[in-house]
């Protein structure tokens, strides 16, 4: 994956807009760095990059209506020049996902705890 001199830090999601703080070098003409924002490999319109007094920029990405679909939808924010991923965010909507990854991780943790206890008990019983 190509590297970028840009850093994008998430600030918040509010009223359907993802906001972040962009820092790094400006374009050669002194303008804001170019970003590529996509959802399902389609460009997201309405991106705003607003200069700040300290030389950084505030980035605003409107959450596209297409991301408000059942399941988990991911929006990618990249440096348009290098293609490097600067940030991403996911939106989960619709019916609760029975196979949600968080539920799977909780189940795996419980099973791992059970196996650790059984292994420790086995070690104690065979050591003595």
Residue in 76, 71, 72 with CA at minimum distance from that of residue 18: 76
Examine the domain organization and report whether 89 and 36 are in the same domain.
yes
| Structural domain boundaries enclosing 50 | 7-94
Question: What is the C-alpha to C-alpha distance for residues 64 and 43, in angstroms, rounded to an integer?
Answer: 10
Say if 59 falls within a structural domain: yes
Tally helices (H) and strands (E) across the chain: 1, 8
Examine the domain organization and report whether 36 and 66 are in the same domain.
yes
Question: Which CATH number characterizes residue 84's domain?
Answer: 2.60.40
Per-residue pLDDT of the chain (128 residues; tens, 9 = 90+): 567 899 999 999 999 999 999 999 888 888 899 999 999 989 999 999 999 998 899 999 999 998 888 878 899 999 998 889 999 998 888 766 656 777 677 778 878 888 888 899 899 989 86
Say if 71 falls within a structural domain: yes
Examine the domain organization and report whether 105 and 85 are in the same domain.
no
Helix (H) or strand (E) holding 68: none
State residue 98's pLDDT score.
Answer: 59
CB of 60 closer than 8 Å to CB of 18: yes
Say if 1 falls within a structural domain: no
Examine the domain organization and report whether 82 and 109 are in the same domain.
no
Examine the domain organization and report whether 105 and 84 are in the same domain.
no
Question: What is the C-alpha to C-alpha distance for residues 79 and 87, in angstroms, rounded to an integer?
Answer: 10
Examine the domain organization and report whether 11 and 49 are in the same domain.
yes
Phi-psi region of 83 (alpha: psi -120 to 50; beta: other; left: phi over 0): left
Examine the domain organization and report whether 71 and 88 are in the same domain.
yes
State residue 77's pLDDT score.
Answer: 95
Examine the domain organization and report whether 101 and 81 are in the same domain.
no
State residue 86's pLDDT score.
Answer: 95
State residue 10's pLDDT score.
Answer: 96
Examine the domain organization and report whether 106 and 125 are in the same domain.
yes
Question: What is the C-alpha to C-alpha distance for residues 16 and 95, in angstroms, rounded to an integer?
Answer: 20
């Amino acid at each position: 994956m190509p590297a970028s001199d840009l850093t994008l830090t998430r600030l918040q999601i509010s009223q359907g807009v993802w906001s972040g703080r962009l820092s790094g070098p400006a374009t050669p003409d002194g303008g804001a760095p170019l970003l590529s924002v996509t959802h399902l490999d389609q460009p997201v319109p309405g991106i705003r990059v607003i200069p700040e007094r300290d030389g950084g920029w505030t980035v605003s990405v409107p959450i596209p209506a297409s991301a408000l679909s059942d399941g988990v939808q991911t929006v990618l924010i990249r440096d348009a020049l290098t293609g490097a991923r600067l940030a991403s965010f996911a939106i989960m909507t619709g019916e609760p996902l029975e196979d949600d990854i968080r539920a799977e991780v909780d189940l795996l943790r419980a099973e791992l705890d059970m196996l650790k206890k059984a292994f420790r008990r086995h070690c104690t019983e065979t050591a003595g």
